Amino acid sequence: MTLQAVWDFPITTPPALPHDVASVFGPLHTVASDPTVTDVFVLADGRVHADRGHGAVMVTDLRLSPTQSVDLARSLIEYGGRHLDEASPLVDVRLADGIRVHAALPPVALGGAVLSIRFSRHHRRQLDQLDIAWAEGQRDSLLNAVDSRQTLLITGATGSGKTTLLAALLSFASPRDRLVVIEDVSELRIDHPHVVQMECRQANLEGAGEISLDRLVRESLRMRPSRLVVGECRGAEVRDLLAALTTGHRGGASTLHAQSLEDVPARLDSLAALAGLSTEQLARQACVAFDLVIHVHHPPGSAREVTVGRFVETSTGHLGVVREG
Protein backbone atom coordinates (compact mmCIF):
# COMPACT_ATOMS: atom_id res chain seq x y z
CA MET A 1 0.00 0.00 0.00
CA THR A 2 1.34 3.42 -0.95
CA LEU A 3 0.94 5.98 1.80
CA GLN A 4 -0.08 9.44 0.67
CA ALA A 5 -1.98 12.35 2.14
CA VAL A 6 -5.71 11.74 1.84
CA TRP A 7 -6.72 15.35 1.31
CA ASP A 8 -4.63 17.40 -1.04
CA PHE A 9 -4.26 21.14 -0.56
CA PRO A 10 -2.18 23.36 -2.79
CA ILE A 11 1.15 24.59 -1.45
CA THR A 12 0.69 28.31 -0.93
CA THR A 13 2.20 31.21 0.96
CA PRO A 14 0.51 31.73 4.35
CA PRO A 15 -2.35 34.20 3.86
CA ALA A 16 -2.21 37.71 5.27
CA LEU A 17 -4.66 38.76 7.96
CA PRO A 18 -8.08 40.05 6.89
CA HIS A 19 -8.06 43.86 6.87
CA ASP A 20 -10.63 44.17 9.67
CA VAL A 21 -8.43 42.03 11.94
CA ALA A 22 -5.11 43.60 10.98
CA SER A 23 -6.49 47.10 11.60
CA VAL A 24 -7.00 46.28 15.29
CA PHE A 25 -3.21 46.17 15.73
CA GLY A 26 -2.85 49.93 15.27
CA PRO A 27 0.87 50.83 15.22
CA LEU A 28 1.69 47.13 14.72
CA HIS A 29 -0.51 46.97 11.62
CA THR A 30 2.33 46.58 9.12
CA VAL A 31 4.25 43.88 10.97
CA ALA A 32 1.03 42.05 11.93
CA SER A 33 -0.02 42.01 8.26
CA ASP A 34 3.24 40.38 7.18
CA PRO A 35 2.29 36.75 6.36
CA THR A 36 5.77 35.50 7.26
CA VAL A 37 5.57 36.77 10.87
CA THR A 38 4.65 34.13 13.45
CA ASP A 39 5.20 36.11 16.67
CA VAL A 40 5.39 39.76 17.70
CA PHE A 41 6.66 40.99 21.05
CA VAL A 42 6.34 44.48 22.53
CA LEU A 43 8.81 45.21 25.32
CA ALA A 44 8.23 47.47 28.30
CA ASP A 45 10.30 50.25 26.70
CA GLY A 46 8.22 50.11 23.50
CA ARG A 47 10.69 48.23 21.33
CA VAL A 48 9.12 45.68 18.98
CA HIS A 49 10.56 42.28 18.00
CA ALA A 50 9.18 40.01 15.26
CA ASP A 51 9.83 36.32 14.60
CA ARG A 52 9.68 35.06 11.03
CA GLY A 53 10.64 31.51 11.95
CA HIS A 54 14.31 32.11 12.72
CA GLY A 55 14.11 33.80 16.11
CA ALA A 56 12.87 37.19 17.28
CA VAL A 57 14.57 40.18 15.63
CA MET A 58 14.06 43.83 16.58
CA VAL A 59 11.97 45.94 14.18
CA THR A 60 14.35 48.88 13.92
CA ASP A 61 11.91 51.42 12.46
CA LEU A 62 9.12 50.90 15.01
CA ARG A 63 8.90 51.90 18.66
CA LEU A 64 5.75 52.44 20.70
CA SER A 65 5.28 55.17 23.27
CA PRO A 66 4.12 54.14 26.77
CA THR A 67 0.61 55.39 25.99
CA GLN A 68 0.51 53.51 22.67
CA SER A 69 1.59 50.26 24.35
CA VAL A 70 -1.08 50.45 27.06
CA ASP A 71 -3.81 51.51 24.63
CA LEU A 72 -2.89 48.74 22.19
CA ALA A 73 -2.83 46.11 24.93
CA ARG A 74 -6.26 47.16 26.19
CA SER A 75 -7.82 47.35 22.73
CA LEU A 76 -6.55 43.91 21.70
CA ILE A 77 -7.79 42.31 24.92
CA GLU A 78 -11.17 44.01 24.60
CA TYR A 79 -11.39 42.87 20.96
CA GLY A 80 -10.98 39.34 22.31
CA GLY A 81 -13.88 39.85 24.72
CA ARG A 82 -11.97 40.39 27.97
CA HIS A 83 -10.88 43.33 30.09
CA LEU A 84 -7.38 44.52 31.02
CA ASP A 85 -6.84 46.94 33.91
CA GLU A 86 -5.00 47.28 37.23
CA ALA A 87 -7.33 44.75 38.84
CA SER A 88 -6.68 42.24 36.02
CA PRO A 89 -3.18 43.11 34.77
CA LEU A 90 -2.49 39.71 33.16
CA VAL A 91 -4.89 38.55 30.44
CA ASP A 92 -4.70 35.99 27.63
CA VAL A 93 -7.20 35.97 24.74
CA ARG A 94 -7.74 34.49 21.28
CA LEU A 95 -8.69 36.88 18.54
CA ALA A 96 -10.27 36.08 15.20
CA ASP A 97 -8.28 33.81 12.89
CA GLY A 98 -6.61 31.99 15.79
CA ILE A 99 -4.37 34.83 16.97
CA ARG A 100 -3.28 34.51 20.59
CA VAL A 101 -2.53 37.65 22.62
CA HIS A 102 -1.05 37.81 26.09
CA ALA A 103 -0.84 41.23 27.76
CA ALA A 104 0.73 42.37 31.02
CA LEU A 105 0.42 45.81 32.61
CA PRO A 106 2.45 47.48 35.34
CA PRO A 107 3.12 46.94 38.18
CA VAL A 108 3.28 43.24 37.22
CA ALA A 109 5.21 44.12 34.06
CA LEU A 110 8.12 46.29 35.12
CA GLY A 111 8.58 49.51 33.20
CA GLY A 112 5.55 49.39 30.92
CA ALA A 113 3.00 47.27 29.10
CA VAL A 114 4.27 43.99 27.59
CA LEU A 115 2.61 42.16 24.70
CA SER A 116 3.21 38.67 23.31
CA ILE A 117 1.29 37.91 20.11
CA ARG A 118 1.29 34.62 18.23
CA PHE A 119 -0.26 34.37 14.77
CA SER A 120 -1.85 31.21 13.43
CA ARG A 121 -1.68 31.72 9.67
CA HIS A 122 -3.86 28.69 8.89
CA HIS A 123 -1.14 27.39 6.59
CA ARG A 124 -1.30 23.64 6.10
CA ARG A 125 2.15 22.18 5.50
CA GLN A 126 2.77 18.80 3.94
CA LEU A 127 5.22 16.44 5.61
CA ASP A 128 7.85 16.84 2.91
CA GLN A 129 7.71 20.64 3.27
CA LEU A 130 8.97 20.45 6.85
CA ASP A 131 12.63 21.19 7.40
CA ILE A 132 13.50 17.88 9.09
CA ALA A 133 16.76 15.96 8.87
CA TRP A 134 15.23 12.48 8.83
CA ALA A 135 17.31 9.51 9.93
CA GLU A 136 17.30 6.56 7.53
CA GLY A 137 13.83 4.99 7.38
CA GLN A 138 12.46 7.33 10.05
CA ARG A 139 9.90 9.12 7.90
CA ASP A 140 8.38 5.89 6.55
CA SER A 141 8.37 4.38 10.04
CA LEU A 142 6.27 7.27 11.39
CA LEU A 143 3.86 7.07 8.46
CA ASN A 144 3.45 3.34 9.10
CA ALA A 145 2.75 4.14 12.76
CA VAL A 146 -0.09 6.46 11.70
CA ASP A 147 -1.42 3.90 9.24
CA SER A 148 -1.39 1.14 11.88
CA ARG A 149 -3.22 3.39 14.38
CA GLN A 150 -0.42 3.72 16.88
CA THR A 151 -0.94 6.46 19.46
CA LEU A 152 1.65 9.23 19.36
CA LEU A 153 3.05 11.70 21.88
CA ILE A 154 5.02 14.45 20.15
CA THR A 155 7.32 16.45 22.40
CA GLY A 156 9.67 19.40 22.06
CA ALA A 157 10.49 22.87 23.29
CA THR A 158 8.40 25.93 22.49
CA GLY A 159 8.62 26.71 18.78
CA SER A 160 10.30 23.42 17.89
CA GLY A 161 7.57 22.49 15.40
CA LYS A 162 5.81 19.71 17.29
CA THR A 163 2.31 21.01 16.45
CA THR A 164 3.21 21.37 12.77
CA LEU A 165 4.66 17.84 12.66
CA LEU A 166 1.56 16.45 14.37
CA ALA A 167 -0.74 18.08 11.82
CA ALA A 168 1.35 16.81 8.92
CA LEU A 169 1.38 13.24 10.23
CA LEU A 170 -2.37 13.19 10.92
CA SER A 171 -3.06 14.16 7.31
CA PHE A 172 -2.10 10.55 6.49
CA ALA A 173 -4.91 9.11 8.65
CA SER A 174 -7.56 7.14 6.78
CA PRO A 175 -10.29 9.36 5.26
CA ARG A 176 -12.79 7.09 7.02
CA ASP A 177 -11.47 8.23 10.41
CA ARG A 178 -13.22 10.89 12.48
CA LEU A 179 -10.60 13.14 14.10
CA VAL A 180 -11.81 14.99 17.20
CA VAL A 181 -9.27 17.71 18.02
CA ILE A 182 -9.21 19.51 21.38
CA GLU A 183 -7.01 22.52 22.06
CA ASP A 184 -6.60 25.32 24.55
CA VAL A 185 -6.16 27.69 21.60
CA SER A 186 -6.86 26.35 18.12
CA GLU A 187 -3.61 25.86 16.16
CA LEU A 188 -3.76 22.47 14.44
CA ARG A 189 -4.60 22.63 10.73
CA ILE A 190 -4.96 19.07 9.45
CA ASP A 191 -5.38 18.15 5.77
CA HIS A 192 -8.15 15.65 6.34
CA PRO A 193 -11.81 15.49 5.26
CA HIS A 194 -13.31 14.71 8.70
CA VAL A 195 -11.99 16.90 11.50
CA VAL A 196 -14.02 18.14 14.48
CA GLN A 197 -12.23 20.95 16.31
CA MET A 198 -13.04 22.20 19.80
CA GLU A 199 -11.43 24.97 21.80
CA CYS A 200 -11.43 25.86 25.48
CA ARG A 201 -13.33 28.91 26.70
CA GLN A 202 -12.10 31.24 29.41
CA ALA A 203 -14.32 32.50 32.21
CA ASN A 204 -16.07 35.84 31.75
CA LEU A 205 -15.64 38.89 34.00
CA GLU A 206 -17.92 37.29 36.59
CA GLY A 207 -15.79 34.14 36.63
CA ALA A 208 -18.45 32.00 34.93
CA GLY A 209 -18.64 30.09 31.67
CA GLU A 210 -15.22 28.45 31.63
CA ILE A 211 -14.87 25.31 29.49
CA SER A 212 -11.64 23.55 30.49
CA LEU A 213 -9.45 21.18 28.51
CA ASP A 214 -10.16 18.23 30.82
CA ARG A 215 -13.90 18.75 30.37
CA LEU A 216 -13.54 18.83 26.60
CA VAL A 217 -11.60 15.56 26.71
CA ARG A 218 -14.47 13.94 28.62
CA GLU A 219 -17.10 15.44 26.30
CA SER A 220 -15.22 14.29 23.19
CA LEU A 221 -15.66 10.65 24.14
CA ARG A 222 -19.40 11.08 23.49
CA MET A 223 -18.65 12.22 19.94
CA ARG A 224 -17.43 8.82 18.71
CA PRO A 225 -13.90 9.82 17.75
CA SER A 226 -11.85 7.46 15.60
CA ARG A 227 -8.79 9.37 16.74
CA LEU A 228 -8.74 11.63 19.78
CA VAL A 229 -6.22 14.46 19.45
CA VAL A 230 -5.29 16.80 22.31
CA GLY A 231 -3.26 19.69 20.93
CA GLU A 232 -1.16 20.11 24.05
CA CYS A 233 -1.25 18.29 27.36
CA ARG A 234 -0.32 20.72 30.12
CA GLY A 235 -2.37 19.97 33.24
CA ALA A 236 -4.93 17.77 34.95
CA GLU A 237 -6.44 16.75 31.61
CA VAL A 238 -3.64 14.17 31.41
CA ARG A 239 -5.76 11.94 33.67
CA ASP A 240 -8.76 11.99 31.31
CA LEU A 241 -6.54 11.62 28.24
CA LEU A 242 -4.77 8.56 29.67
CA ALA A 243 -8.12 7.07 30.67
CA ALA A 244 -9.44 7.52 27.13
CA LEU A 245 -6.33 6.12 25.45
CA THR A 246 -6.25 3.05 27.68
CA THR A 247 -9.87 2.13 27.04
CA GLY A 248 -9.84 1.51 23.30
CA HIS A 249 -9.29 4.91 21.67
CA ARG A 250 -6.25 4.12 19.53
CA GLY A 251 -4.55 6.15 16.85
CA GLY A 252 -4.83 9.46 18.69
CA ALA A 253 -2.10 11.90 19.56
CA SER A 254 -1.03 14.74 21.81
CA THR A 255 1.89 17.10 22.29
CA LEU A 256 3.92 17.94 25.38
CA HIS A 257 6.57 20.52 26.22
CA ALA A 258 9.91 18.87 27.02
CA GLN A 259 13.56 19.74 26.42
CA SER A 260 14.67 16.23 25.42
CA LEU A 261 13.34 12.71 24.97
CA GLU A 262 14.82 11.72 28.33
CA ASP A 263 13.01 14.61 30.07
CA VAL A 264 9.56 13.44 28.95
CA PRO A 265 8.87 10.96 31.82
CA ALA A 266 9.63 13.61 34.47
CA ARG A 267 7.46 16.17 32.66
CA LEU A 268 4.54 13.73 32.50
CA ASP A 269 5.07 12.79 36.13
CA SER A 270 4.67 16.42 37.19
CA LEU A 271 1.41 16.69 35.24
CA ALA A 272 0.17 13.41 36.70
CA ALA A 273 0.77 14.75 40.20
CA LEU A 274 -1.49 17.72 39.39
CA ALA A 275 -4.15 15.22 38.31
CA GLY A 276 -3.84 13.14 41.48
CA LEU A 277 -2.12 10.19 39.81
CA SER A 278 0.72 8.43 41.58
CA THR A 279 4.05 7.78 39.86
CA GLU A 280 3.19 4.08 39.61
CA GLN A 281 -0.25 4.76 38.12
CA LEU A 282 1.27 7.08 35.52
CA ALA A 283 3.89 4.51 34.52
CA ARG A 284 1.33 1.74 34.01
CA GLN A 285 -1.12 3.91 32.09
CA ALA A 286 1.37 5.81 29.91
CA CYS A 287 3.01 2.58 28.72
CA VAL A 288 -0.38 1.36 27.53
CA ALA A 289 -1.68 4.70 26.24
CA PHE A 290 1.23 5.79 24.01
CA ASP A 291 2.93 3.59 21.44
CA LEU A 292 5.58 6.10 20.37
CA VAL A 293 7.21 9.23 21.78
CA ILE A 294 8.47 11.54 19.02
CA HIS A 295 10.77 14.33 20.15
CA VAL A 296 11.45 17.33 17.90
CA HIS A 297 14.58 19.42 18.38
CA HIS A 298 15.22 22.57 16.34
CA PRO A 299 18.84 23.78 16.61
CA PRO A 300 19.16 27.47 15.65
CA GLY A 301 19.91 27.80 11.94
CA SER A 302 19.68 24.06 11.28
CA ALA A 303 17.08 21.52 10.21
CA ARG A 304 14.87 19.95 12.85
CA GLU A 305 15.95 16.65 14.31
CA VAL A 306 13.53 13.89 15.30
CA THR A 307 14.18 11.27 17.97
CA VAL A 308 11.77 8.38 18.54
CA GLY A 309 11.32 6.33 21.69
CA ARG A 310 8.91 4.17 23.66
CA PHE A 311 7.75 4.34 27.25
CA VAL A 312 8.78 1.57 29.63
CA GLU A 313 8.06 0.86 33.27
CA THR A 314 11.29 0.71 35.27
CA SER A 315 12.07 -1.86 37.96
CA THR A 316 11.16 0.76 40.59
CA GLY A 317 7.73 1.35 39.07
CA HIS A 318 8.62 4.70 37.51
CA LEU A 319 8.02 5.81 33.94
CA GLY A 320 11.06 5.60 31.68
CA VAL A 321 11.76 5.96 27.97
CA VAL A 322 14.05 4.04 25.61
CA ARG A 323 15.21 5.24 22.21
CA GLU A 324 14.21 3.40 19.06
CA GLY A 325 16.80 2.44 16.49
> How much is the mean pLDDT over the chain?
87
Same domain? For 146 and 183 the reply is: yes
Q: Is the pLDDT of residue 2 over 90?
A: no
Number of H helices, E strands in the chain: 9, 14
Residues 6 or more apart whose CB falls under 8 angstroms from that of 5 comprise 126, 127, 171, 172, 191
pLDDT digit string, tens, across residues 164-193: 899 999 999 999 999 999 988 777 889 999
Q: Which of 89, 118, 147 is the last residue of a domain?
A: 118
What's residue 12's pLDDT? 39
Q: Is there a domain that residue 103 lies in?
A: yes
Q: Is residue 7 part of a domain?
A: no
Same domain, 79 and 191: no
Beta-ladder partners of 274: none
For 219-238, what is the HEC assignment? Answer: HHHHHCCCEEEECCCCCCHH
Backbone phi and psi for residue 291, each to the nearest 5 degrees, phi listed first: -85, -35
Q: What is the mean pLDDT of residues 124-150?
A: 89
Read off the pTM.
0.76
What is the Cα–Cα distance from 77 to 68, expressed in whole angstroms?
14
Residues 69 and 147 in one domain: no
Query: Residue 189: what pLDDT?
Result: 85
Model pLDDT for residues 232-273, shown as the tens digit of each residue: 888 888 888 898 888 888 999 999 999 999 999 999 999 999
**Pair type for strands 152-156 and 292-297:** parallel
pLDDT > 90 in the chain, percent: 56
Residue 8 lies in a domain: no
Check pLDDT > 70 for residue 13: no
DSSP state of 17: P
In-domain check, residue 269? yes
Name beta bridge partners: 152. 253, 292
Q: Which pLDDT band, with edges at 50, 70 and 90, does 75 fall under?
A: very high
Asked if residues 185 and 98 have their Cβ atoms less than 8 Å apart, the reply is: yes
Taking the C-alpha atoms of residue 25 and residue 44, their distance in angstroms, rounded to an integer, is: 17
Q: Give a yes or no: residue 12 inside a domain.
A: no
Domain boundaries, position 303: 127-323
Q: pLDDT tens across 204-221, in order?
A: 667 778 888 888 888 988
Q: What's the domain count of the chain? A: 2
